[in-house]
Amino acid sequence: MPTTPPPPPAPPLPPDLLAELFRHRHAAMVAGLCRILGPQRLELVEDVVQEAMLRALRVWPVEGVPEQPEAWLFRVARNAALDALRRARIGARVEAELQQWAATEAGPPAAPATIADDTLRMLFLCSHPDVPTEARVPLLLKHVCGFGVPAIARALLQQEATIAQRLTRAKAKLQQGAQFELPPAEQLPARLDLVLAAIYLLFNEGHRAHAGSTLLRPELIDEAARLCALLLQQPALRRPRVHALLALILLLGARSPARTTADGELIPLARQDRSRWDRAWLQYGFHHFRAGIGGEVLSPFHVEAAIASVHAAAPDYASTDWPRILRHYDQLQALQPSPIVRLNRAIAVGKVQGAAAGLVALAGLDRDRAMRDYGLLHAVTAQLHWELGDHAAAGACLRQALQHPCSEPERRLLERRLAACERGEPVGPW
């Protein structure tokens, strides 16, 4: 007796598809649900978004990826929220708003490109004065940028347990009465710096991923630029430091096409083909740099944008005005002293005053607990030793750098440099 053949197996999930969807749509799902349900139900919002992601992991490998995966995720999250609300018998208004999502297969209606955009509402909600200071940026990165706890910990050079505790405290504060609405116009500027800090960290993760198979995450760079541009649409937020941050994002982001080879290998700045830098991004970057020059306050974003502008203005690496860059790092160290600034300043010192002076500028940084686990510190130290002809010390530092987290392209570059160092080759550009 003939039997019905079993259905063919579903095609495998495209690599990193769920991760891409999470990065692209997580913030929109959280912000849209939080607008409707209110910050007091942030735990419910997190739960239903997480449920949608987990259900995709269970269902898609068996049934295949749906034609509209984003709409599928929105629908699952929406239905889970409705079920929870019905069980709790929470008001009809909220339920009616959630039901509106069912009118389209493409997810919730697109938010307007204004300060009323749900993403910006979420940015300012997470920077609410009631949220503990140390928890604001982690909260922004989690609920606006879609970072997981490990990625936040890497971005902030903190332990995962520390970040998890801060997020728990922050959510508890929001559940005590914060509203999903913009603060009054007179309060917006005071909370602007926290929002800018989150956008800055979002860009940094896109510009140089701290882990994973690729060096760049272009969608994070684009999102950082979009959020910064949204802020500038509001007169109350059109401040020089916002222009300066957007200038920094554009001037550094313009390098992206030249930073990797076609197969994803890292190309150091000294070897990049500058004709591949995005000319439009450079043009807009210099426009916002000029727009940010006015004002009475010099912010760290101004100084970092100035450093980026020096690199962008140089026709080639050899023409870089390193003395000017060093002066800017001196300004930045005075404005915002940090181990990362010291590290970058030491690079400039090495370029201007020589490798021995660069090592002196690095002295003591390895006593900082977070910096001991920061591979770039050991890579820079290796470069300076190598320039001095000390291949043994350089090799030891490169091996130490390889023990710490980094992206796969960075790891492969470190491995190539270690092999060259062990062969006694002359130091290459960095």
Q: What is the structure's pLDDT at 407?
A: 87
Block residue for tokens 């009616």: 96
Pull the structure tokens for residue 423. Answer: 């062969």
> Does the predicted model carry a pTM greater than 0.95?
no
Q: What is the structure's pLDDT at 99?
A: 61
CA-based torsion, 200, 204, 205, 206: positive or negative: positive
Return averaged pLDDT per consecutive 10 residues of the chain, 430 residues in all: 48 54 68 76 80 81 78 82 70 56 48 56 83 86 82 81 92 76 77 88 83 80 87 87 96 95 92 95 94 87 97 96 98 95 96 97 89 91 96 96 91 94 85
Phi-psi region of 226 (alpha: psi -120 to 50; beta: other; left: phi over 0): alpha
Q: Tell me the C-alpha distance between 48 and 88, whole Å.
A: 15
Cβ 147 vs Cβ 199: under 8 Å: no
Structural domain spans, the chain? 17-110
Block residue for tokens 């000294």: 270
Pull the structure tokens for residue 180. Answer: 């999903």
Burial class (CB in 10 A: 0-12, 13-18, 19+), 163: buried
Pull the structure tokens for residue 16. Answer: 């990193």
Question: What b/e readout covers 23-57, taking b as 16+ CB neighbours within 10 angstroms?
Answer: bebbbbbbbbbbbbbbbebbebbbebbebbbeebe
Q: Tell me the C-alpha distance between 259 and 401, whole Å.
A: 21
Cβ 245 vs Cβ 199: under 8 Å: yes
Cβ 156 vs Cβ 340: under 8 Å: no
Question: What b/e readout covers 273-293, taking b as 16+ CB neighbours within 10 angstroms?
Answer: ebeebbeebbebbbebbebbe
The SS3 call for residue 302 is helix
